[in-house]
């Protein structure tokens, strides 16, 4: 079990586009995914992107199972998504609250595509192709943005909707 340090907003490594993975089914890639999973679970995150632990590769993970940070969201199976390609299915956008392990203690209201298809690969090179909506689609867009060097406040339309979790959602005290 290896908990890696998560970089915080202001670190220039969070603003770089990440490189695609070229070789799958390697020990190095499996170890990266293992460290990311341990780190995400340890911090009660719904997702984590490799650049957040200082690794310049197009690797994201996400999962949601009764997460105290997102008590009302549907469950999402633990997914390792590498070299992702997102295709919105229509122009419908929805606003929703997001947090990020790189902005601890904050939440912001962010517009995202409601429905999309995502494609990519798992760590063994197996193809992934899913069509999702709602919070699942939101998480994929948030994590994939990290691979472009984009943090969620950069997607917000109204920065008055950025605030501290403990103030916005006092009932969620104890989570970040
Ligand atoms: Ni994030």
CA of 54 to the centre of ligand 1 (A): 13
Question: Is residue 154, in this structure, part of any structural domain at all?
Answer: yes
Asked if 143 is an active-site residue, the reply is yes
* pLDDT bucket at 173, cuts 50 / 70 / 90: low
How much is the pLDDT for 98? 97
How much is the pLDDT for 67? 66
Which residue among the candidates 95, 143, 166, 171 is catalytic per the annotation?
A: 143
CA of 81 to the centre of ligand 1 (A): 15
Tell me the residues surrounding ligand 1 (ion) with CB < 5 Å. Answer: 100
Question: Is residue 3, in this structure, part of any structural domain at all?
Answer: no
Question: Is residue 66, in this structure, part of any structural domain at all?
Answer: yes
* pLDDT bucket at 71, cuts 50 / 70 / 90: confident
CA distance 60 to 49: 4
CA of 79 to the centre of ligand 1 (A): 15
pLDDT exceeds cutoff 90 at 129: yes
Question: Is residue 163, in this structure, part of any structural domain at all?
Answer: yes
The parent domain of residue 31 ranges over: 12-169
Per the confidence metrics, is the pTM higher than 0.85?
Answer: yes
List the CATH number of the domain containing 30: 3.90.45.10
Question: Is residue 176, in this structure, part of any structural domain at all?
Answer: no
Please state the domain count of the chain. 1
Question: Is residue 4, in this structure, part of any structural domain at all?
Answer: no
Question: Is residue 6, in this structure, part of any structural domain at all?
Answer: no
CA of 107 to the centre of ligand 1 (A): 11
Question: Is residue 27, in this structure, part of any structural domain at all?
Answer: yes
């Amino acid at each position: 079990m290896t908990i890696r340090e998560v970089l915080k907003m202001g670190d220039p490594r969070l603003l770089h586009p990440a490189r695609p993975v070229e070789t799958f089914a390697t020990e190095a890639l499996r170890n990266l995914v293992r460290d990311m999973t341990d780190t995400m679970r340890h911090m009660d995150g719904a997702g984590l992107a490799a650049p957040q632990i200082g690794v310049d590769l197009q690797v994201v993970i996400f999962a949601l199972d009764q997460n105290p940070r997102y008590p009302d969201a549907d469950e999402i199976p633990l997914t390792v998504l590498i070299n992702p390609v997102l295709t919105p299915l229509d122009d419908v956008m929805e606003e929703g609250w997001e947090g990020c392990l790189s902005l601890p203690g904050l939440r912001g209201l962010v517009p995202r595509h409601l429905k999309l298809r995502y494609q990519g690969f798992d760590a063994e090179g197996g193809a992934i192709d899913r069509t999702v909506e709602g919070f699942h689609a939101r998480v994929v867009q948030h994590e994939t943005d990290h691979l472009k060097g984009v943090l969620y406040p950069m997607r917000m339309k109204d920065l008055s909707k950025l605030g501290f979790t403990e103030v916005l959602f006092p009932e969620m005290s104890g989570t970040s």
